[in-house]
């Protein structure tokens, strides 16, 4: 191996350990920034020692020990800010008093919980959703600020600033960095799931930029979701979210046409859906349902599963989808859910059923300038044979959309009404 290859191999080991290292350190030093710095210091030490000694049998424990030594040195030199130093130094010393194996065993036991605590802290509701996403990708996902900036089509300075501010907010609020228990955990879990799904959707639905899909963000979100499922195996919604992401990601290979445009679900080549991800998604959904999952993510995953199970659009279980939308509307009401519910009912029970439900939401403020609403009404009217009315709806939808391809599609549908 060349020195460069050795270096690369050590960094790969470090990447595996980094999140857990930071999670363990932050419990003691109570400062995300400092924990990150100490982890980085441990990497520098590893890079100088491992080429000589080889990678230790338990690299995680080795790095933790190295980082904690650095922390003690820093405290002794009085470089750490503020109070609590004595207490922290004592805690660190205690950690070295026991036999090395006892320390390792204790660390192994706590490691999952510490990591979960770090995820909950990075996703704390006192932070904005954008700040949570950036901080989670940085400290848990291990992405650099440059990578995060590219993923979110933002500047590196903006992302760096966002992360710095998030860390300051956390320090100021004196968060415990621990995994919340009981009712508090149930209360805070949605903000964790929201961030992971936001990251996923930023990759899947790419709201800006030239590429309609950025799979690397989907990958990061799936990885976080899988991690969370490993760490919190009793939470139905964790598996609901994982199922939803795996099934949606299974369509990524079929989602972009040869011209680079998004291909709508009914027109996708289902042979290109990834069967492994579908299987993983269905397994995660089964787990969510076994845990009693009837939350918004489990229901959305069940919806995605109805499509995943259909071998062709004609095989789609529309009555099942309509029933799921009825339930989703009850647990997570939103005008967009109402609209999709109307579409599902039109597919299951005919265009008149869709029109009836669409009429109920026609005045919703949130849908006032929302192109999909007139587009759906146009489709219902077209299928009901009311062509002149359908044409007016397609034209209205075409005026509302900002997407050039979509406008062309809607105008073509208006034209087809004669």
Partner 1 sequence: MRVMVLVKATDDSEKGASDPTWMAQMMAAMGRFNDELRNAGVLLMADGLTPSSQGKRIAFDGASRTVIDGPFAETRELVAGFWLWDVKDMDEAVAWVRRCPNPMPGPSEIEIRPLN
Q: Which residues pair with 262 in a beta bridge?
A: 256
- Among 165, 219, 291, 353, the residue binding partner 1 under the rule CB under 8 A is 219
Q: Which is nearer to partner 1, 15 or 90 (CB)?
A: 15
Stretch that binds partner 1, among 4-12, 41-49, 88-96, 265-273 (CB under 8 A): 4-12
Whole-angstrom Cα distance, residue 42 to residue 149? 26
Mask for 229-248, x = binds partner 1 (CB under 8 A): xxx-----------------
- Among 203, 212, 225, 351, the residue binding partner 1 under the rule CB under 8 A is 225
Q: Which residues pair with 256 in a beta bridge?
A: 262
Q: Which is nearer to partner 1, 277 or 347 (CB)?
A: 277
Give the count of residues interacting with partner 1 (CB under 8 A).
23
Q: Nearest Cα to 167, choosing from 198, 214, 228, 121? A: 121
272 lines the binding site for partner 1 (CB under 8 A): no
Q: How far is CA 171 from CA 39, 45, 62, 78, 138, in A?
A: 18, 27, 27, 19, 17
User: First vs last Cα of the chain: how many Å apart?
Assistant: 71
The answer to whether the CB of 66 falls within 8 A of the CB of 45 is: yes
Mask for 129-148, x = binds partner 1 (CB under 8 A): --------------------
Q: Which is nearer to partner 1, 60 or 293 (CB)?
A: 60
Q: Quick check: helix, strand or coil at residue 256?
A: strand
183 lines the binding site for partner 1 (CB under 8 A): no
Q: Which is nearer to partner 1, 29 or 140 (CB)?
A: 140
Whole-angstrom Cα distance, residue 84 to residue 78? 12
Question: C-alpha 271: how far from its chain's center?
Answer: 26
- Among 138, 251, 255, 280, the residue binding partner 1 under the rule CB under 8 A is 280
Stretch that binds partner 1, among 10-18, 36-44, 121-129, 380-388 (CB under 8 A): 10-18
- Among 136, 222, 300, 401, the residue binding partner 1 under the rule CB under 8 A is 222
Residues 372-389 as b/e (b if ≥16 CB within 10 A, e otherwise) read bbbbbbbbbbbbbebeeb
The answer to whether the CB of 305 falls within 8 A of the CB of 243 is: yes
Binders of partner 1 among residues 39 to 58 (CB under 8 A) are 55
Neighbours of 176 (CB within 10 A): 12
Stretch that binds partner 1, among 75-83, 227-235, 377-385, 405-413 (CB under 8 A): 227-235
- Among 59, 215, 253, 257, the residue binding partner 1 under the rule CB under 8 A is 59
125 lines the binding site for partner 1 (CB under 8 A): no
Stretch that binds partner 1, among 31-39, 202-210, 218-226, 368-376 (CB under 8 A): 218-226
Stretch that binds partner 1, among 97-105, 219-227, 308-316, 400-408 (CB under 8 A): 219-227
- Nearest approach, Cβ of residue 230 and partner 1 (Å): 4
> Of all helices (H) and strands (E), which one includes residue 40?
helix 32-53
12 lines the binding site for partner 1 (CB under 8 A): yes
Neighbours of 312 (CB within 10 A): 8
- Among 21, 38, 115, 284, the residue binding partner 1 under the rule CB under 8 A is 115
112 lines the binding site for partner 1 (CB under 8 A): yes
In the numeric block, which tokens belong to residue 254?
């079929």
Quick one: CA dihedral 71, 76, 79, 83, positive or negative?
A: positive
Q: Quick check: helix, strand or coil at residue 262?
A: strand
Q: Which is nearer to partner 1, 73 or 108 (CB)?
A: 108
Quick one: CA dihedral 136, 137, 141, 146, positive or negative?
A: negative
217 lines the binding site for partner 1 (CB under 8 A): no
Q: Nearest Cα to 194, choosing from 278, 282, 297? A: 297
251 lines the binding site for partner 1 (CB under 8 A): no
List interacting residues with partner 1 (CB under 8 A): 8-9, 11-13, 15-16, 55, 59, 112, 115, 219, 222-227, 229-231, 276, 280
């Amino acid at each position: 191996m060349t020195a460069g290859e050795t270096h690369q191999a050590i960094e790969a080991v470090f990447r595996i350990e980094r999140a857990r290292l930071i999670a363990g350190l932050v419990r003691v030093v109570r400062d995300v920034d400092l924990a990150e710095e100490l982890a980085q210091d441990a990497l520098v030490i590893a890079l100088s020692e491992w080429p000589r000694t080889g990678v230790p049998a338990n690299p995680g424990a080795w790095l933790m020990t190295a980082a904690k030594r650095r922390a003690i040195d820093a405290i002794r030199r009085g470089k750490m800010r503020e109070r609590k130093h004595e207490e922290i130094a004592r805690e660190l010393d205690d950690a070295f008093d026991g036999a090395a194996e006892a320390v390792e065993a204790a660390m192994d036991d706590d490691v999952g919980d510490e990591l979960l605590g770090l995820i909950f802290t990075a996703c704390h509701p006192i932070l904005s959703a954008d700040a949570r996403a950036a901080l989670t990708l940085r400290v848990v996902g291990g992405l650099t600020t440059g990578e995060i900036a590219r993923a979110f089509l933002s500047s590196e300075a903006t992302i760096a600033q966002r992360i710095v501010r998030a860390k300051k907010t956390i320090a100021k609020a004196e968060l415990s960095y621990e995994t919340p228990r009981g009712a508090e955990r149930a209360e805070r879990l949605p903000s964790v799931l929201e961030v992971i799904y936001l990251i996923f959707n930023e990759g899947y639905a790419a709201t800006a930029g030239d590429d309609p899909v950025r799979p690397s963000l989907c990958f990061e979100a799936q990885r976080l979701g899988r991690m969370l499922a490993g760490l919190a195996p009793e939470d139905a919604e964790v598996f609901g979210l994982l199922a939803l992401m795996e099934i949606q990601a299974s369509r990524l290979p079929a989602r972009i046409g040869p011209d680079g445009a998004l291909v709508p679900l009914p027109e996708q080549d289902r042979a290109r859906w990834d069967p492994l991800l579908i299987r993983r998604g269905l397994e995660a959904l089964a787990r969510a349902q076994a845990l009693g999952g009837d939350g918004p993510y489990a229901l959305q995953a069940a919806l995605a599963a109805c499509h995943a199970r259909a071998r062709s659009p004609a095989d789609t279980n529309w009555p099942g989808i309509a029933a799921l939308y009825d339930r989703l509307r009850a647990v997570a009401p939103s005008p967009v859910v109402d609209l999709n519910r109307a579409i599902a009912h039109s597919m299951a029970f005919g265009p008149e059923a869709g029109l009836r439900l669409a009429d109920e939401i026609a005045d919703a403020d949130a849908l006032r300038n929302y192109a999909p609403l007139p587009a759906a009404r146009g489709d219902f009217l077209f299928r009901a044979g009311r062509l002149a009315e359908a044409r007016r709806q397609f034209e209205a939808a075409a005026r509302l959309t900002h997407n050039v391809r979509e406008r062309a599609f809607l105008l073509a549908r208006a034209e087809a009404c004669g």
